Amino acid sequence: MVFLIFLFFKLAIHFESVAWAQVVDDPIDGAIEKHSKDSNEHPGSIPTISLPEVTVSAQTAPSEPTILPTSRQISSYGPEMNIIEIPRDIRPVSQEEMKTVMALTVNDLAAFSPSINPTQATGNIVSEPVIRGLPGTVFRNGMLVGFSSGGNWGPLMNMMAYDSLDIVTGPVSIIFGPQEFAGGYVNELTKQPYFDRFHGNASYTFGMYGDSFWNVDLGGPVGKTKKAAFRIDYFGQDGYAPFNYYDGAYMQREAFYLAFSAHPWENLWIDCNGEVDLNNFVPYAGLNRPTAALIHDGLYQTGSWIGSIGPTGAFIPGHVTPPPSGGYVIDFGPEVPISGRNNIFNSPLNFTLQTYGVFQPIIRLEINDRLRIVNNLMIEYFRTEIGQPVPMDTWAFLPYGYNVADRLEVITTLEDNKIKQLIDSGMAFRFLSDLEYFGTWHGPANQVDMTRPFSGGQDDPPLVSYATAVAYGNPFLTDIPIPGFPGGFFNVDNFLSTQCRFFEISPFFQDQIQIGNKFSMLFGGRMDFYHVDASPPDGTPAILLEPFEPYDRTQLTAILPQLTFSSTYRPFPWMSLYATGFFGQTTAQSQFGAFAPEFTGSYYHQLNELEEIGVKCNLLNNRLFLALSVYNQTGFVPAFVLPSGITPTVSATVRGFQIQGSYQPSKHWWINFGYNHIDGFENWASDPTGPTVNQPYSTRVAALYHLPVDPIVSLAPGLYPFPGFPSNYANWMATYKMDNGFGISLWVIAETGQWLGFNYALRTPSWYTLNGRLFYTAKRWEASLWIYNLTNNHYWLAGGAGFTSAASLDYDYAALQMPFWIQATLQIFF
């Protein structure tokens, strides 16, 4: 591989010498309206387009390409401001940067920001990024993308539909409005139409392990007046190496995106976008029975499932489901080598299907230079079926989910002598209706020996009948058939299954006050009024509605306040010092982001606080941007809870410091870098118990001391640092482009090890990956070669991140990550 890179540069230098006069323009960020007809960009250029108010406002295209965050206005924290004026850490990600790493999944965002770290989600794909150790909420042009909970289970992001992204740390802004306790949020800025002329490109990507996907992106003006324009994007996928590499895992996707914009009058803009996504996949879940020998030496602890521990503590031979605090009895054997391509979900009975649709019209009316009105409407539909009967007995089914949200903003600019105000106020409305089924309380994995063939009905625990559940002392452990989902079962009173409808009305107000050239303040407030109607889902047996305690329909109204205050001081034009605070309330969530009937009033009033100070610098004549922040955030995260349990959320704190920067001395090369040190812990000190886990010790300990696996026990109250989470994370990315079209990109991500389990006895090693891209861009085509994990580093991630309930399974799963692999793309412009 080193020889290939050397040869590439030899060819590049040769072409540089014989074709120095040939200049190939790079894509330039800027508003397409500002491009003239005689633009000398190659037809494949994809400028960054702005959306009214929710993204970048139109601005004059810069004289040369730039990835510096100071190069454009940002509207992911309110009305447009320069990044140096915003009292939060924000990382804009350009189209060029997304293309550098070929971003397709949430974990790919880890290459751009030290706030995001790659995360495994046992049996699922992460649908929202992990930001500062917590779930990150996703927005689409400023509107909440629904149906996710704790970063899981929601619709997959379609990176091909975005012009750029903004990654914002800390609680969600007053304007956008929070949904859950979040360490930050990502604002997707979708592709916008071309108004100057027709543009189009098509690409095909192929690589190792059956890697195969394609994309067509085209659009242009409508009519001679060019007051309207369209954009169409189609993305298809029939294989992706980070899935196909592992036994039984696969990814198939089709995504259709359409945007239409009109500018009928000088003061009116109408932007619409819509998308339909069809996803079919089986994720990689990793290997079960993680031990030190497995992680360091690739040696797997063997042993056959021979029985279980019953309610009285006695051994029961055969394959039966034990009660909580029981567990499975294994006849342990030796430790033997095992392939890292093994996947605990390698079964034809496992599947995940998603159907997602969204339509978003945005209207902006400019009354005068000081007054604008913006209305942002988004309508979503989501349906998903998740079957994981082997070896876990886990099912999730969302037959329907409808989410309608609208926000009306009035944006006013006031000036009086040396005081300038930018006021954003208005009203947001949301309506959601969905039906959710979820069953997984006895979803273990350690009863399976992965060195032997296993299949449904042999290695997954039997279903639990009502009579068995009563014998276990908890009727809500009953597995209930899911209506319309043959072979699927669910549980109730588990804070996840629900049939819910709710309305939310939210007035908000944010005022940025600029006093002279050096000092500014920002304060804002929001009040979320909820009216919730939640019932046990259809199919719940009447006998479970009031067996020993009431379990029935819940109707309630809740009022959740949010307040923020920030001050910024600019001792020099190139420096800003800021301090910011946030105080508000968020809610607990059901499996797909609604509310369960067992939620009491306290679950609608969970505190969320942030204190942060930072400094931002714009140095070297706008060539170097640096940002440093120190932060402390507290709130509530989801916890694993048995049906009829009492603690589905727990107080958590994350704190640390972060530095990130961008340097671009010329159009030929640029560098991004970042580092984050973070501590996160759950506070169970005031709860009746500590965290509930499937297994409190490693399987090697179980083998040595003849203990059962997956007994499901609750630990003692106390403070528990996040398992499955690194305390240090760093990223670095660089690109060099020559005038003759050749270029190279390199990027590194690195993190310290992760604890597996809440007893902190087993830890994965620290790791890094070095990745690269070689490319050549001509006027009508471009070729790229991506090289991932160039040094073939051997590294692991825990089965579930610390803030998620999946962390309870960290002694059931660990995931060996991808080795060296490559993929290539040929793209044509027309």
- Residue 601 has which token pair? 């009033």
Rounded alpha-carbon distances, angstroms, from residue 313 to 309, 328, 711: 6, 12, 11
DSSP state at residue 116: B
Q: What is the pTM of this model?
A: 0.91
Angstrom distance (rounded) from CA 109 to CA 404: 28
Residues 578 and 614 sit within 8 Å (Cβ to Cβ): yes
Q: How far is CA 466 from the centre of its chain?
A: 37
DSSP of 141-196 = TTEE--S-BTTBSSPPP-GGGEEEEEEEESSPPTTT--SS--SEEEEEEE----SS
Residues contacting 643, CB < 8 A, separation 6+: 441, 474, 476, 477, 491, 492, 493, 494
Shortest CA distance to 352 belongs to which of 135, 123, 542, 152? 123
Rounded alpha-carbon distances, angstroms, from residue 484 to 38, 398, 478, 488: 58, 11, 18, 9
DSSP of 724-776 = S--SEEEEEEEEEE-TTSEEEEEEEEEE---EESTT--EEPPPEEEEEEEEEE
Angstrom distance (rounded) from CA 74 to CA 50: 10
Amino acid code (one letter) for 359:
F
Regions in the chain scoring below 50 on pLDDT: 1-63
- Residue 577 has which token pair? 């010092």
Angstrom distance (rounded) from CA 141 to CA 144: 9
Angstrom distance (rounded) from CA 210 to CA 500: 41
Give SS3 for 466. Answer: helix
Strands 184-190 and 134-140: parallel
Angstrom distance (rounded) from CA 623 to CA 740: 23
Residue 775 burial (C-beta neighbours within 10 Å; 0-12, 13-18, 19+): buried
- Residue 462 has which token pair? 């039997």
DSSP state at residue 207: E
Look at residue 456 in the predicted model and tell me its pLDDT: 65
Helix (H), strand (E) at residue 15? helix 2-18
Look at residue 800 in the predicted model and tell me its pLDDT: 85
- Residues 535, 537, 543, 547: is their CA dihedral positive or negative? negative
Residues 738 and 770 sit within 8 Å (Cβ to Cβ): no
Look at residue 460 in the predicted model and tell me its pLDDT: 74
Rounded alpha-carbon distances, angstroms, from residue 314 to 309, 323, 443, 707: 6, 12, 22, 13
Query: Which single residue is written with the structure tokens 């992965």?
Result: 450
Determine the number of helices (DSSP H) and then strands (DSSP E) in the chain. Answer: 6, 40
Map out the domains of the chain with their CATH numbers: 2-540+566-816 (2.40.170.20)
Instruction: Tell me whether the omega of the peptide bond preceding residue 561 falls within 30 degrees of 0, making it cis.
Output: no
Q: What torsion do the CA atoms of 806, 809, 811, 816 make, to the nearest 10 degrees?
A: -60
Query: Which single residue is written with the structure tokens 């079209």?
Result: 741
Q: How far is CA 321 from the centre of its chain?
A: 34
Angstrom distance (rounded) from CA 343 to CA 329: 22
Look at residue 547 in the predicted model and tell me its pLDDT: 63
Write down how long the chain is: 830
Angstrom distance (rounded) from CA 289 to CA 698: 7
DSSP state at residue 794: -
Angstrom distance (rounded) from CA 439 to CA 392: 10
- Residue 745 has which token pair? 């990109």
CA atoms within 13 A on the CB side of 441: 31
Helix (H), strand (E) at residue 470? helix 466-471
Residues contacting 194, CB < 8 A, separation 6+: 32, 49, 219, 220, 221, 229, 231
Residue 224 burial (C-beta neighbours within 10 Å; 0-12, 13-18, 19+): exposed
Give SS3 for 551. Answer: coil
DSSP state at residue 217: E
- Residue 433 has which token pair? 């209706």
Give SS3 for 37. Answer: coil
Rounded alpha-carbon distances, angstroms, from residue 543 to 550, 604, 646: 11, 28, 21
* Largest pairwise CA distance in the chain: 85
Amino acid code (one letter) for 76:
S
Look at residue 21 in the predicted model and tell me its pLDDT: 36
Look at residue 789 in the predicted model and tell me its pLDDT: 98
Read off φ and ψ for residue 116, nearest 5 degrees: -110, 130
Beta bridge partners of 721: 681
Shortest CA distance to 366 belongs to which of 263, 449, 288, 255? 263
Residues 413 and 370 sit within 8 Å (Cβ to Cβ): yes
